Structure 1
Amino acid sequence: MAALDIEYVELYAHDEAATVGYLAGSLGFRRVARAGRPGLETVLLRQGTVQVLVSTGPAAGRFLEEHGDGVADMALRCDDVAGTLASATAAGARELGDAVGGPAVTGFGGVRHTLFPDGPDAATRLPAGRAWTPLSAAAGPVERISVLDHVAVVLEAGTLQDHTEFYERGFGLGRYSGEYVAFGDQAMDSVVVRSASGGITFTLIEPDKKKQAGQIDAFLDKNNGPGVQHLAFLVDEIVPAVHELRGRGVDFLSTPAAYYGLLERRFPEMAGEIADLKGADVLADRDEWGYLLQLFTRSPYARGTLFYELVQRRGSRGFGSSNIRSLYEAIELDRVAAE
């Protein structure tokens, strides 16, 4: 009785054309199908094994008013839907009565989890519960994204352990790693939970309230509480992917030039490719299994909350301290520069 994989991520958006345009025109997702129900219009987009639903309409109004554009549903595939529902509610989740396609329960903040059964067609099926109309498969750019690598979730201070236990007991996710990161007078704590299949990885983050307020606190303020901070997409080759997506309008965070001098001293074996990484602003980290390359976008949404990440793994399995610190520092520097 456990969650295995992510069926889809559903975004609630004020502007369908702008949101779908960014995901399709800039990030390279394909428009697959459209569905409507009272108060909500939904477009399904797909790239690799990643399915993203963009929903707009009056039924999304309350969420949008409270949180702005962002993830409203992180739908999960389970080995036993009824059993997972029972364990989730026993762990403290509340069952929701307006679910589409399967039972749904509360997760964190305004985000819910709709539960779907696993199956051999899980990666290609249209999510159940909606009357989908296929969209014409117009030729698009080369697909760079293959998998939803992980989801970063920002939580209120003092709730990290409770949420970790909630996902362990309620959904069968295992505690994979933890990291406390200090940056100047600011700090955050994090725990990574992951399904046994590896199909679900949540990085749960909370600010340290004993420290000065920073970008994690800013997210909580702008989002009016906990929510999905970013979706990390796995790519095969990050440098050409960044150049291509930047050319299609994706605005990535910039990396200080001094970072690459430090990087060459940290990883002298990468000296031959430092110039390429610097030209794309790509960050690098290493753990005992290999290397991780990554870069973060700026948020394309009005409140500046949800953003995206590109990840390339060269054997790396985890989330090292330098990795998490790079994310924190890059966003913090960008936030301060914008003030």
Structure 2
Amino acid sequence: MAVHDIGYVELYTRDAVTSVDYFVSAMGFTRVADSVEPERSSVLLQQGGVRLVVTSGRGIVRFLEQHGDGIADIALTCDDVAATAVAAASAGATVTRSSQGLPVVSGFGDVVHTLLPTDSTVNSLPAGRSWSYAPGATATAAAGRVTGLDHIAVCLEGGSLEKYADFYREVFGFSRYSSEYVAVGAQAMDSIVVRSDSGSAIFTLVAPDPGKEPGQLDNYLERNGGEGVQHLAFRTGEIITAVQECRERGVVFLDTPDSYYDMLGERLGGLHAQVEELRETKVLADRDEWGDLLQVFTRSPYPRNTLFFELIQRNGSRGFGSANIRALYEAVERDRLTS
């Protein structure tokens, strides 16, 4: 019942035209195919190994009223779809069927997991819908600065991390990869990273410390109407160029104070030549025993200021920027207080 990969991520939105334009015009995705159904219409976008399904229509009104624009489905490819569905039900999950008969497993909040066979590759259209290719599009993976989906950050209620980490282990065969606790002033957040044995499906589970003062994660949970996907992290091999291009096309990135870069050269020897480029693009840097990590975060493009995105470049690093978790927390906090 092991999960191999993330087949696609589905975004529900009130304004499909604007949302698709953001991904295509600003972030470099390609429109691959369209699906029109009585209750909803979907657009399949692709870049590298990332597939996004952008969906709108009257069939998703309840989700939008509760959560606003956000991720509703993280489809998972499994080696045994039927066994995974049985394991999910045994673990207490709700298992339903899509209109096309695919198993759909409840995840966190109102986010679900459609289960797909492992032959649902990046060069095939998502199962269960009637797709038609966009003019000039093919099934071949669209090239761009983004090469893959590095991880998905999930914001949960305080005190629930252990429960969900156990759930993803029991149901999907995920293992715990790392954990982190970050305190900033009177606020604090806890996190557990879980991933599939293949290493292709990674969830960073984050939650506020209920024993501390309310902060940005509590604020997210309120704005989002409960638990949900906080951000998607897109992997790239050229983060400086990717940020420059995205910024020119209208993507707004979170700010980082100059003091962060003033100390960066001393903290990470060997990056002196890059510090000014990092400062100009507001890219964060960290290092672990395997190599360097570069990452930057966008401001949310959605009205309720919930879902946002990350660009991440791994130069050997296998971690998640332990030193940058605090920097991200502080950057989001500054943005929250000034917006």
TM range (shorter): over 0.9
**Residue equivalent to 1:287:** 288
Following superposition, the deviation at residue 264 of structure 1 comes to 1.6
Q: 1:85 to 1:38 in 2, by over 3 A?
A: same
Q: Where does 1:1-339 land on structure 2 (aligned, <5 Å)?
A: 1-98=1-98, 100=100, 102-119=102-119, 122-137=121-136, 143-338=144-339
Within 1, Cα distance between the matches of 2:126 and 2:236? 24
Q: 1:61 to 1:109 in 2, by over 3 A?
A: same
CA displacement, residues 167-198 of structure 1 (integer Å, 9 cap, x when unaligned) = 00011001000111111111000000000111
Contact 1:9 1:52 in 2 (8 A): yes
Q: 1:4 to 1:262 in 2, by over 3 A?
A: same
TM-score (structure 1 length as normaliser): 0.97
Contact 1:101 1:116 in 2 (8 A): no
Unaligned runs of 5+ in 1: none
Within 2, Cα distance between the matches of 1:300 and 1:110? 21
Following superposition, the deviation at residue 209 of structure 1 comes to 1.3
Query: SS state of the match for residue 39, structure 1?
Result: coil
Following superposition, the deviation at residue 323 of structure 1 comes to 2.5
Within 2, Cα distance between the matches of 1:250 and 1:27? 8
CA displacement, residues 186-232 of structure 1 (integer Å, 9 cap, x when unaligned) = 10000000001111000001100111111100100000100000000
Q: 1:264 to 1:282 in 2, by over 3 A?
A: same
Unaligned runs of 5+ in 2: none
Following superposition, the deviation at residue 318 of structure 1 comes to 1.3
Following superposition, the deviation at residue 138 of structure 1 comes to 7.0
Within 2, Cα distance between the matches of 1:312 and 1:79? 29
Letter in 1 for 2:46: R
Contact 2:285 2:321 in 1 (8 A): no
Contact 1:175 1:193 in 2 (8 A): yes
Q: 1:4 to 1:52 in 2, by over 3 A?
A: same
Contact 2:35 2:43 in 1 (8 A): yes
Following superposition, the deviation at residue 321 of structure 1 comes to 2.1
Contact 1:72 1:112 in 2 (8 A): yes
Following superposition, the deviation at residue 320 of structure 1 comes to 3.8
Query: SS state of the match for residue 157, structure 1?
Result: coil
Give the ranges of 4+ consecutive aligned residues of structure 1 lying more than 6 Å apart after TM superposition.
Answer: none
Letter in 1 for 2:236: V
Contact 2:293 2:321 in 1 (8 A): no
Letter in 2 for 1:137: G
Within 1, Cα distance between the matches of 2:327 and 2:257? 11
Contact 2:32 2:137 in 1 (8 A): no
Within 2, Cα distance between the matches of 1:89 and 1:99? 19
Percent of residue pairs identical: 53
Letter in 2 for 1:43: V
Within 2, Cα distance between the matches of 1:295 and 1:331? 12
CA displacement, residues 291-328 of structure 1 (integer Å, 9 cap, x when unaligned) = 10000000000000000000000000012421222221
TM-score (structure 2 length as normaliser): 0.97
Q: 1:328 to 1:99 in 2, by over 3 A?
A: farther
Within 1, Cα distance between the matches of 2:227 and 2:214? 16
